[in-house]
Amino acid sequence: MFEGELLTELILRYWRHPLAENAEFRNDLIENAAKALRLSIEGNNLIEGLPPEYMSFIAALWYAEWSSLQNTSAEEIPESVLQKREAWLLALRRAVPSCFCNPKDLP
């Protein structure tokens, strides 16, 4: 668990997530990433192009944040924070694209 918390902390800070300092947010993100991993183990395809058996912790963190934004109304998040959270999603996906595709598709 420690390694997951450390990796989450580093990913949030390095790619400048606007809620990186919020401990409750980090804990919720880790819990939701764990749920995403469990769903993937059950065979659920959560990210297009990424077979469930290849879901990584990094992809699960991304999915947890993406899912959170999909399930939140625009009135609940200030526009500036929403834009930063969306930018974080994009930056993470661009930084480690191999976490978001079938490894068989890699050269």
pLDDT in tens, 64-84: 999 999 998 878 899 999 999
Q: CA nearest 68: which of 26, 104, 23?
A: 26
**Spans of all domains in the chain:** 2-105
Give the pTM: 0.93
**Whole-angstrom distance, CA of residue 91 vs CA of residue 10:** 14
**Whole-angstrom distance, CA of residue 80 vs CA of residue 62:** 19
Place of tokens 């919020």: 22
pLDDT in tens, 5-57: 999 999 999 999 999 999 999 999 999 999 999 999 999 999 999 999 999 99
Q: CA nearest 82: which of 65, 95, 69?
A: 69
pLDDT of 100 strictly over 80: yes
